[in-house]
Amino acid sequence: MALIVQKYGGSSVADAEGILRVAKRVVDTRRAGHDVVVAVSAMGDTTDELLDLAAHVAPVPAPRELDMLLSSGERISMALLAMAINSLGFEARSFTGSQAGMITDAHHGSARIVDVTPVRLREALDEGAVVIVAGFQGFNRDTRDITTLGRGGSDTTAVALAAALNAEVCEIYSDVDGIYTADPRVVPRARKMDRISSEEMLELAANGAKVLYIRAVEFARRHGVLIHARSSFSSNEGTLVINELLSEKLRAEGDPMEEPIVAGVATDLSHAKITIVGVPDVPGKAADIFTIVAKAGANVDMIVQNVSAAATGRADISFTLPMADATLAINALIASQAEVGFESLQHDDGIGKLSVVGAGMRTNAGVSAKLFEALSDAGINIEMISTSEIRISVVMRGDKLPEAARVVHTAYGLDSEIDAAVHGGTGR
């Protein structure tokens, strides 16, 4: 008998029918003789709706109160799921993040898990109950306040529980059959992967593939948790996210993981571009600018500085950052305009980022040429480029992003013969 952690996302528990479907699945796992711990997300688009509501009553809601509000979404679904399982004749008990021992730092809105003390969960399991835990939330010991783990954070709850309880596998259920070579809502011909390395999954998640939350993948990698991403709408096998150790073990056992040069394509519409025009081309200006931006709490992604015009001795610096951070960064920069000495500032929230990810890029030439050629053939203009060891990203107009993803997916030979199945959800 194994202990299995299952996480059901918002699209899986969007309504009463979904909750009953999930309850049946949990019960099936229990019937097969396993101990089951479930992490559950808020129903459907509840978290977005709560955020909209908050925005209507306060332009900048207090982070503590926002976490109180948002954590309520998961409390609704955990209790309903426990009731549904009970009604099928099995005992289930739900726990909030703090009852489950999810201890985090005090960073409201994106708290990190620092400890898991699942005493009550162990007791409930020992007594034969199915355990349901509210995802996405924790508790800080110093402030004694409720925290949330960042959007998509129920994935992290599940992985942290799997690590703390030494689960055999952490199954993450959503509305698609697994990890695809691209978002199947954007690229219908995306292909499901049987396996992906955690290294590649991290890059995809960091660049817009929200099918798994980046911190959950990081946590799993660090603690050796096996993730199985699959659909709650079908019984198909999903995708295993294999950490390096496991991948080596499989290789040693003569089961070589197929290593295509490009694993997948990720798309991201959540960033904005800020261009600072006419920055004096003298040492220290970039340091000034990015210190101001960092102090405003913004996470900078790509940076490009153009060559300064000889006549003016000034250069332009463009960078991208999450749209949600843009206002704070712009206000901080404008407040320091005289001190830094730049001429003006432009804000562009119509950009999209396309990233091509693959561990095989390390040892293969010509990967970026193929990307640029595919975009050029489609007449799509590239505005910024950045690379890492296993990734190439390009910024373009956001409305070109879906087409770009499709032509690039085709160019790398990733297209499947059939369209991918997307079962539910709104993709919000």
**Applying CB under 6 A, which residues contact ligand ADP?**
9-12, 41, 152, 174-176, 179-180, 182-185, 204, 209-211, 264, 422, 425, 427
Residue 136 interacts, among ligand ADP, Mg ion, ligand ASP, none and using kind-specific CB cut-offs from 5 to 8 Å, with ligand ASP
DSSP state of 399: G
Residue 175 interacts, among ligand ADP, Mg ion, ligand ASP, none and using kind-specific CB cut-offs from 5 to 8 Å, with ligand ADP
Residue 153 interacts, among ligand ADP, ligand ASP, Mg ion, none and using kind-specific CB cut-offs from 5 to 8 Å, with ligand ASP
Amino acid at 221: R
Residues 268-307 contacting ligand ASP, CB under 6 A: none
Whichever of 90 and 180 has its CB closer to ligand ADP, that residue is 180
Whichever of 139 and 342 has its CB closer to ligand ASP, that residue is 139
Minimum gap (Å) between residue 214 Cβ and ligand ASP: 12
Could you tell me the sign of the dihedral formed by the alpha carbons of 320, 289, 388, 324, in that order? Answer: negative
Tokens of 396: 């373009």
Whichever of 120 and 423 has its CB closer to Mg ion, that residue is 423
Whichever of 205 and 390 has its CB closer to Mg ion, that residue is 205
Side-chain half-sphere CA neighbours of 263 within 13 A: 29
Label residue 415 exposed, middle or buried (CB < 10 Å: 0-12, 13-18, 19+): middle
Residues 5-64 contacting ligand ASP, CB under 6 A: 9-10, 41-42, 47
Whichever of 205 and 329 has its CB closer to ligand ADP, that residue is 205
The length of the chain, given as a count of residues: 428
Label residue 60 exposed, middle or buried (CB < 10 Å: 0-12, 13-18, 19+): exposed
The SS3 call for residue 334 is helix
Residues 94-153 contacting Mg ion, CB under 5 A: 152
Residue 230 interacts, among ligand ASP, ligand ADP, Mg ion, none and using kind-specific CB cut-offs from 5 to 8 Å, with none
List helix spans (H) across 1-141: 16-31, 46-57, 63-87, 119-126
Whichever of 8 and 412 has its CB closer to Mg ion, that residue is 8
Whichever of 39 and 129 has its CB closer to ligand ADP, that residue is 39
d(CA 133, CA 233): 21
Is 238 an interacting residue with respect to Mg ion (CB under 5 A)?
A: no
Q: Which residues contact 385 (CB under 8 A, 6 or more apart)?
A: 392, 393, 394, 395
Q: CA-CA distances (angstroms) from residue 261 to 173, 241, 359?
A: 27, 17, 7
Is 101 an interacting residue with respect to ligand ASP (CB under 6 A)?
A: no
Residue 423 interacts, among ligand ADP, Mg ion, ligand ASP, none and using kind-specific CB cut-offs from 5 to 8 Å, with none
- Is residue 162 within 8 A of residue 225, CB to CB? The reply is yes
Binding residue for ligand ASP (CB under 6 A) from 11, 98, 154, 247?
Answer: 154
Task: Kindly determine how many residues on this chain lie close enough to bind ligand ASP according to the rule CB under 6 A.
Answer: 13
Q: Cβ–Cβ contacts within 10 Å for residue 42, how many?
A: 27
Residue 11 interacts, among Mg ion, ligand ADP, ligand ASP, none and using kind-specific CB cut-offs from 5 to 8 Å, with ligand ADP
Residue 176 interacts, among ligand ASP, ligand ADP, Mg ion, none and using kind-specific CB cut-offs from 5 to 8 Å, with ligand ADP
Q: Which residues contact 91 (CB under 8 A, 6 or more apart)?
A: 85, 127, 128, 129, 130
Whichever of 13 and 374 has its CB closer to Mg ion, that residue is 13
Minimum gap (Å) between residue 258 Cβ and ligand ASP: 30
Ranges assigned E (strand) in 127-236: 130-134, 137-139, 146-148, 169-174, 195-197, 227-231
- Name the residues that contact Mg ion, by CB under 5 A: 9, 152
